[in-house]
């Protein structure tokens, strides 16, 4: 009888213990994305004019007229961007104004939002066109960026895109 009571008590305590286990929650890992624009960017309207082209140190417009350049952001599948940016420098030491548009989502599949920003590129150093969740009506992450995100700039003469950067989080399990 004592053995049977002990077995019943042990089974009861074990059952209660399993019932009180915390629920499994997915853990996330934050990460950064950096890309060389020579690889990640291209002319929006392809041409054989090689004045605006990828170079070892960026996507440069060494010409005399503006050109639209689009840069795509890669990341882990399913992750959403917390922010995204494109860094610009002057090639001639003059101040330049560059208009860039960030867009999220996939055409004809999800809602897309276009957000334009003007960046003043200093004569020395760099400046960034930065896009945040609030620009797209979100908080925490840029809505729709788990599928697609790009930035298109009207790259002015004597300006170069030197880096793409972003932050994102992804699930790593429990």
Question: What is the per-residue pLDDT across 126-158, written as a single tens digit (0 to 9) for each?
Answer: 999 999 999 999 998 999 888 889 999 999 999
User: Could you tell me if residue 9 is inside a domain?
Assistant: no
User: Could you tell me if residue 119 is inside a domain?
Assistant: yes
CATH assignment at residue 115: 2.60.120.260
- Which candidate, 87, 69, 72, places its Cα nearest to that of 145? 72
User: Could you tell me if residue 107 is inside a domain?
Assistant: yes
Give the integer Cα–Cα distance in Å for 4 and 9.
Answer: 9
User: Could you tell me if residue 45 is inside a domain?
Assistant: yes
Give the integer Cα–Cα distance in Å for 78 and 47.
Answer: 34
**Averaged pLDDT, 72-85:** 84
pLDDT beyond 70 at 30: yes
pLDDT beyond 60 at 46: yes
Q: What b-and-e string marks burial along 99-120, b requiring 16 or more CB atoms within 10 Å of the CB? A: bbbbbbbeeeeeeeeebebebe
Total domains in the chain come to 1
User: Could you tell me if residue 130 is inside a domain?
Assistant: yes
User: Could you tell me if residue 59 is inside a domain?
Assistant: yes
Domain housing 90: 28-173
Query: pTM above 0.95?
Result: no
User: Could you tell me if residue 142 is inside a domain?
Assistant: yes
Q: How many residues does the chain have?
A: 174
User: Could you tell me if residue 20 is inside a domain?
Assistant: no
């Amino acid at each position: 009888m004592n053995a049977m009571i002990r077995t019943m008590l042990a089974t009861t305590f074990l059952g209660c213990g399993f019932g009180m286990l915390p629920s499994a929650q997915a853990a996330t890992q934050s990460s950064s994305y950096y890309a060389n624009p020579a690889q990640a960017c291209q002319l929006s309207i392809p041409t054989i004019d090689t004045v605006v082209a990828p170079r070892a140190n960026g996507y440069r417009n060494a010409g005399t007229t503006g050109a639209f350049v689009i840069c795509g952001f890669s990341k882990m599948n399913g992750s959403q961007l917390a922010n995204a940016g494109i860094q610009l420098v002057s090639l001639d030491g003059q101040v330049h104004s560059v208009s860039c548009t960030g867009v999220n989502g996939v055409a004809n599949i999800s809602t897309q939002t276009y957000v334009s920003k003007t960046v003043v590129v200093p004569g020395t150093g760099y400046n960034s066109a930065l896009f945040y969740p609030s620009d797209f009506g979100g908080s925490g992450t840029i809505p729709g960026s788990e599928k697609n995100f790009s930035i298109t700039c009207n790259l002015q003469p004597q300006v170069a895109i030197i880096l793409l950067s972003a932050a994102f989080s992804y699930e790593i399990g429990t």
